[in-house]
Structure 1
Amino acid sequence: MKKLIVLLCGVLVAQLVLAVIVFVSGEEYGAYEAEEKLLVFDVTAVDRIQIENGSSSVVLTKQADKWVLPELDDFPADQHNVVQLLDKLAAMKKGWPVATTSGASRRFKVDEDEFERKLTLSTKENTLGQLFIGDSPGFRKVHVRNSGDAEVFAVDFNTWEASADAGDWIDKRILAFSAEKLLQVEMPDFVLRREDDEMQLADLTNQEEVNRQAIQTLVNNLSGLQIDSLLDEKDKPGSSTDEADFKLKVTLDPDETLTYYFFKQPSEEPYFLLKRSDFEDYFKIAEFHVNAIKQTTRDKLLVNAAEDVSGDMVDDESLNPEVELLD
C-alpha cells in the first residue's frame, strides 16, 4: 500500500510539472503572438501598392498624398479603403505557424507561383514588403506567408479587401458634395434656390406650401450620388450631350455650376450613363438612383393641396362646387 501511495504521489508530481511547463510555454507563445509583426514597414512611407491574383493585377500609387489608379488615367482611388488595407497589413501579427516547410506553401496557396493574392508594398526606390495570401481556413481567416520566409500563418483578413480589379478601388463618391454648399438646382420643370438657409421653390405662390421632406430627399440624392463604375473608353456613347435623355444643373457657389447629362441605356441594362461637366469620364449609375432624382417633379415637392391640416382627405367637390362631374 505504501509503495502504491508513493507511486501515485510521483504521478501527481509529474502531472503538476507538466502543467507548469504547458502554462509557461503558453505564456511565452502568447507574448510572441502579441508582439511580433508579420510585416514590418512604415505605412506613411508606402507610395506604391501592387496586387496580383495570378491572372490580373492592379497598381495604386500615391501622388501629392492622394492615392490614384495609373491604369485609369490617375482616377482617384477610394482613400479610406487604401489606408484601411495598409493599416490592416501593418497590424497583422504572427501566431503559431500552420506550417514551416517550403513544400507547404503550395498546399496553402501562398507559393510564388500559386496564390490567391500577392501584395507588394514599395517606395519609388525600394520594396518594403511582400505578402502572399492563400486559401481560407475559416470565416474571415486566410493563410499568409511573408516573402522569403517558409512559415505559413492564419490571420484575420478577407481576400476581397485586396481586390486585383482596378474598378473595385475607384472613389465611388467622387461626385458627392456638401449639401450645405448647394445654392440652386435646375430641373426640367422647376428650380430650387437657397433662401434664408433653406432650399425653396423659385416660383412658389402664396397658396402653395413646400414639402420639406421631399426637398431634403432630393438634395440628399444629389449631394450623395454614387457611381457604380467608370465606362470603358471604347464604350463611350457617340451621341452628344445635347441628346441626353435627362439633364439638370447644380450651382455650388456663384462661380461653379455643374451640368449633369444622363443617358438611358438599353432596357436590359439597369443603369444610366452620366457625363458631368467637370469630368471627361462617363460614369455608370444604378437606374434606381437616377430615377429617384428624375421622377421628382414640382408637384411632388408640394404639400398635397387636397389634404387638410390633419392629413385627412378633403372632398374634391367641396374645393370647387361649380365643377360638374362627367358621366
Structure 2
Amino acid sequence: MDNVNRYLLYLLVFQVLLSAVVFYNFGKLSASPEPSPLISIQKADISKIILKGPSDTSVTLTKKVDSWVLPKEKNFPANNAAVEQLLGRLFDLKEGVQVSQQETSFARLRVSDKDFERQIMIYKDGELSEVLFFGTAAALRQTHVRRGGETKVFSVKFAAGDIELQSSDWLKRDIFVFPSEHVQEVSIGSIKISNKMVKSENAPDNIESSTSQKKQWGIKDLKKNMVPSQVEINDLVRQLADIQVSSLASPDDIKNIDRSKKPIEFKISLKNNVSHTFKLLKLKNEDDFLLRASSREETFRMPPLSAKQLVNKAKRDVLTISKK
C-alpha cells in the first residue's frame, strides 16, 4: 500500500511539473504584456494636427521649426504650451480594456468615421499618419477610442470633450507681452511720460552714483502744483507690458468699430530702440474694444476688463496727483 501511495505522489508531482512547463511554454504563467501605445509615430516627427468635432468644427495646427502656428489664421502663433500638453496626453494613452471589435458598435459608441466626439488626425511630413476617434464616455473619466482603419474599440482614461475646437482657444494670447522694466517712455495723445533717474531720498548731496539714484516717472507740461502719480503710472506700465488678446477680430467685429470715437493710442519706447504702438478701438453698442498693434497686421479682441482698465488709466487726472 505504501508503494502505491508513493507512486501516486510521484505521479502527482510529475503532473504538476508537466503542467507548469506546458503553461510556461504557452505563456500562461508569463507576465501580461505591456499595453501598446495608441500612437506609434514619434512626437518629434509630427508636422500637423487636425482636431475635429461634431458639425464639422475643426482646428488645424502646423509645426514651423519648433513652434506651432494656426495656418487658417495666416500662420498666427499658437499656444505652444497648450499644444504640447495635448500631445503629452495623447502620447500617454495606451490600449485600455477592449470593449468591442464589431463595426456595428461604432455608431452606438460614437467612434465611427462620420460620427464621433473628437477626431484627431496626426501628420508626418505632410502625410496622414495616425487617426484616433474618441466617442462616448465609457465610465467616469473614461472614453471610448478607436484607431482609424481598425475595428478594436478600447476604453481609455481621457476626456475628449476638453479638446477645444475654436482657433481662439489655441492662440498665443501673450504675443505682445514684454518686461515692464524695459519701458522708457509712454505717450498717450498729449500725455508724455518718461523714465528718468533722480537722486534717492536721504542720499548725500556730494555722492552721485547708481546706488544713490532711483528711477522715477515724469510727465511733460504738468499743471501747477501737480506731480506724476508713481503708483498709477507704474500700474499703467505693468498693464501695457502684459497686454493679452482673447481672439482674432472677425470681419463683423471690424465693421462694428465706432468710427465716431477717436482710437486711444499708446506709444511705448523700450530699451534697445524697440517700440510698440497699441490702438484701442471702441465697438458700437458694446463696452468692448478691439486692439491693433504696430507689430502685427491682424486686429484682435481684448478681454473686456483689461481694455476697460487701460482706457480708465489713459487720463491725465488719473496719472497725476496734487503736490503735497
In the alignment, structure 1 residue 273 sits paired with structure 2 residue 290: yes
Percent identical residues:
25
Q: Secondary structure at the match of 2:49?
A: strand
Structure 2 segments unaligned to the other structure (5+ residues): 1-27, 198-213
- State the one-letter code of the partner of 2:177: A
Q: Does the 8 Å CA contact 1:270/1:286 hold for their aligned counterparts?
A: no
Query: In angstroms, what is the RMSD of aligned CA positions?
Result: 3.4
Q: Closer, same or farther in 2 for the Cα pair 1:114/1:84, shift >3 Å?
A: same
Change (3 A) 1:286 1:125: closer
Q: Which stretches in structure 1 are left out of the alignment for 5+ residues?
A: 1-24, 307-327
Task: Give the match for residue 219 of structure 1.
Answer: 237
Question: Which residue of 2 is the match for residue 52 of structure 1?
Answer: 52
Partner of 1:78: 79
Cα distance, 1:143–1:254 mapped onto 2, change above 3 Å: same
In the superposition, relative to structure 1, how do residues 301 and 152 fare at CA in structure 2: closer, same or farther (>3 Å)? same
Q: Which residue is equivalent to 1:91?
A: 92
CA distance in 2, matches of 1:32, 1:93: 9
Amino acid at match of 1:215: I
Alpha-carbon distance in structure 1 between the residues aligned to 2:136 and 2:216: 53
Tell me the equivalent position of 1:317. none
Please give the residue correspondences for 1:289-300 in structure 2 after superposition, counting only pairs within 5 Å.
Answer: 289-296=306-313, 297-300=315-318
User: What TM-score results when the alignment is normalised by the length of structure 2?
Assistant: 0.74
Per-residue CA deviations over 1:8-53 (Å, capped at 9, x if unaligned) read: xxxxxxxxxxxxxxxxx9x956x635xx312122111101111122
- TM-superposed deviation, 1:192: 3.0
Q: Summarize the Cα distance change of 1:252–1:107 in structure 2 as closer, same or farther, 3 Å threshold.
A: same
2:11 corresponding residue in structure 1:
none
Q: Secondary structure at the match of 2:136?
A: coil
Paired residue secondary structure (1:103): helix
State how far apart, in whole Å, the 2-side matches of 1:210 and 1:137 are.
62
1:229 and 2:247 correspond: yes
Partner SS for 2:302: strand
Which has the larger strand fraction? 2
1:126 and 2:127 equivalent?
A: yes
Q: TM-score, normalised by structure 1?
A: 0.73
The DSSP-based 3-state class of the residue aligned with 1:180 is helix
Distance 1:298 1:39, change over 3 A: same
Which whole-Å CA distance do the structure 2 matches of 1:124 and 1:60 have between them?
14
Shift of 1:275: 1.3
Q: Give the C-alpha shift of residue 178 in structure 1.
A: 2.1
**In the comparison of the two structures, how many residue pairs are matched?**
280
